[in-house]
């Protein structure tokens, strides 16, 4: 870790705990800052705040008193989930107090290169792929996962050594709080419309994503999805060297899909069908990851080994098991129709038994009609089961079954399946009508598959 001196005896307010706030407070304390932590959860219910207090860090919990900013703070480090409309954040900005997120601290102390990955979809899978590729047959150091993937960036940066790499998944929320952050390589997987309740407009959302490259120069690399006209147009505004990837266009200077093969700058790396995970979206993710691996001088042999063995990220079209010729896939992360459409694109629908349903947010599902064409059977549960049944009927699905939940859907799907079929949990809905998170829903699916194996 670089021993930066700029925070010594400086008063810093950390707003919001969770993992990133906790790690930021610890790091700033070690760097000599006079840290105050403010978190909304009451102290007696707040083990993180209790831990920080034991370390000698000042904590104020249970509310966000605006008079806190009457003190002479030189910096606010904000939890990414706290919106900029928060009164404390607005007051800090009016007082010209810099408002950063902890990824900026991670950059300041990191001794090794950072590879930053952002985008609307595919961030986690691409980030995971890149870390596996960079660690495959590696002789010195490690590629460490960090950021929005669940490992606080500042904590990882503290421990990483100069021979390592940090592979950092970055949300738009995190990227709004950077200043000097400067990755060696940045990846933008795609940009769709998302998080407008936080950002206020699509333009603001795109600007937040695009900020990942704002401090890059010609010696850095920006890997972007060339199938997006928007990203193509934005690329002319970057000072970084552009490395494009595409599933539609042969690219002399990038990664692309051609004749069912994955290529990089004219060199065939592997067959698309050899990827360990299905789906057109995973081909895009793989092309982005391969581009990064080649920029980091990973051999084709190592790329092949890592990508053929990759079984997916939990809850994202994750291969679970094969039982008597039936393959089970957990795509519980598919909380909307677009995600389910992308998951289905990786399969022959005639072999698919789809498990779907969940929280009713008032939307319909007719956009799924083309994606549902020729599905062998659909098993529905949750609040939206009747709406999805109407869509399934319109799509011509002949076998439409109802059940109570994911756990009961698994044995029912097995009963109606045959060797060669794919049983896919891809709900197209949030989980909150029956499960507290999509992760728990996916875990229940995996557990139910495990019971079939016994």
The reply to whether 125 sits in an annotated binding site is: yes
Assign 19 to helix, strand or coil.
Answer: helix
Question: What is the per-residue burial (b if ≥16 Cβ within 10 Å, else e) of 3-41?
Answer: eeeebeebbbbbbbbebbbbbbbbbbbebebbbbbbbee
The whole-number pLDDT of residue 395 equals 98
φ, ψ of residue 114 in degrees (nearest 5): -115, 135
Non-local CB neighbours of 264 within 8 Å, separated by 6+ positions: 254, 255, 290, 291, 294
Q: What residue spans in the chain does CATH classification 3.90.190.20 cover?
A: 318-453
Q: Is 124 annotated as a binding residue?
A: yes
CATH class of 318-453: alpha beta
Please tell me whether 120 is known to bind a ligand.
Answer: yes
140 is in an annotated binding site: no
CATH topology of domain 103-309: 3.40.1190
Predicted local confidence at residue 238, as pLDDT: 98
Instruction: Say if residue 122 carries a ligand binding annotation.
Output: yes
351 is in an annotated binding site: no
Token digits for 149? 């993937």
Per-residue pLDDT at 276:
86
Structure tokens at 246: 């595409």
How far apart CA 106 and CA 147 sit, in angstroms, is 9
Opening angle at CA 366, ends 438 and 281, nearest 5: 55
Q: How is residue 29 written in tokens? A: 């304390």
Domain with CATH 3.40.50.720 in the chain: 11-100
Q: How far apart are CA 314 and CA 145, in angstroms?
A: 15
Which homologous superfamily is 11-100 in? NAD(P)-binding Rossmann-like Domain (3.40.50.720)
The separation between the first and the last C-alpha atoms of the chain, rounded to the nearest angstrom, is 48
> What residue has token string 């994955």?
262
In the chain, CATH 3.40.1190.10 covers: 103-309
Q: Are 275 and 282 in contact (CB under 8 A)?
A: yes
Strands 114-118 and 165-169: parallel
- How far apart are the C-alpha atoms of 210 and 214, rounded to whole Å? 7
Q: What pLDDT is recorded for position 326?
A: 97
Dist CA 368 CA 338 (whole Å): 8
- pLDDT for residue 193: 73
Q: Please list the pLDDT of the chain residue by residue as tens digits (454 residues).
A: 998 999 999 999 999 998 999 999 999 999 999 999 999 999 999 999 999 999 999 999 999 999 999 999 999 999 998 999 999 999 999 999 999 999 999 999 999 999 999 998 889 999 999 999 999 999 999 999 999 888 999 999 999 999 999 999 999 999 999 999 999 999 999 997 767 778 889 899 999 999 999 999 999 999 999 999 999 999 999 999 999 999 999 999 999 999 999 999 999 999 999 998 888 889 999 999 999 999 999 999 999 999 999 988 888 888 999 999 999 999 998 988 988 998 998 899 999 999 999 999 888 999 999 999 999 999 999 999 999 999 999 999 999 999 999 999 999 999 999 999 999 999 999 999 999 999 999 999 999 999 998 7
């Amino acid at each position: 870790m670089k021993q930066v001196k700029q925070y010594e005896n400086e008063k810093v307010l950390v707003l919001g705990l969770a993992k990133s706030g906790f790690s930021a407070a610890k790091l700033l304390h070690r760097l000599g800052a006079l840290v105050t932590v403010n978190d909304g959860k009451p102290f007696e219910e707040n083990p993180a705040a209790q831990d920080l207090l034991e370390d000698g860090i000042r904590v104020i919990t249970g509310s966000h008193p605006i008079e806190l900013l009457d003190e002479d703070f030189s910096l606010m480090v904000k939890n990414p989930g706290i919106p900029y409309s928060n009164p404390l954040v607005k007051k800090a900005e009016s007082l010209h107090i810099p408002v950063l997120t902890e990824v900026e601290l991670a950059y300041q102390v990191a001794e090794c290169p950072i590879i930053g990955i952002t985008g609307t979809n595919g961030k986690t899978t691409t980030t995971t792929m890149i870390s596996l590729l960079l660690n495959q047959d590696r002789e010195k150091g490690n590629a460490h996962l960090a950021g929005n993937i669940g490992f606080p960036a500042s904590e990882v940066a503290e421990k990483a050594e100069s021979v390592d790499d940090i592979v950092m998944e970055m949300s738009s929320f995190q990227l709004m709080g950077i200043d000097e952050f400067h990755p060696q390589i940045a990846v933008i997987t795609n940009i769709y419309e998302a998080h407008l309740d936080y950002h206020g407009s699509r333009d603001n959302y795109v600007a937040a994503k695009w900020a990942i490259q704002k401090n890059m120069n010609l010696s850095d690399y920006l890997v972007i999805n060339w199938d997006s006209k928007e990203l193509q147009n934005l690329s002319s505004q970057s000072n970084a060297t552009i490395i494009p990837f595409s599933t539609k266009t042969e690219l002399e200077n990038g990664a692309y899909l051609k004749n069912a093969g994955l290529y990089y700058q004219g060199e065939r790396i592997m067959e698309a069908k050899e990827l360990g995970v299905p789906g057109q979206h995973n081909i895009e993710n793989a092309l982005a990851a391969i581009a990064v691996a080649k920029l980091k001088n990973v051999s084709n042999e190592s790329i092949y080994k890592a990508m053929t063995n990759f079984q997916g990220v939990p809850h994202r079209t994750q291969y679970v098991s094969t039982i008597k010729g039936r393959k089970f896939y957990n795509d519980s992360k598919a909380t909307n129709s677009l995600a389910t459409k992308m998951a289905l694109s990786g399969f022959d629908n005639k072999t698919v038994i789809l498990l779907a349903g969940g929280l009713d947010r008032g939307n319909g599902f007719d956009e799924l009609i083309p994606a549902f064409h020729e599905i062998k059977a659909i098993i529905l549960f949750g609040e939206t089961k009747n709406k999805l049944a109407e869509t399934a009927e319109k799509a011509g699905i002949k076998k439409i079954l109802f059940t109570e939940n994911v756990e009961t859907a698994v044995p029912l799907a097995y009963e109606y399946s045959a060797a060669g079929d794919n049983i896919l949990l891809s709900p197209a809905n949030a989980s909150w009508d029956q499960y507290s998170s999509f992760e728990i829903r996916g875990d229940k699916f995996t557990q139910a598959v495990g019971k079939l194996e016994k």
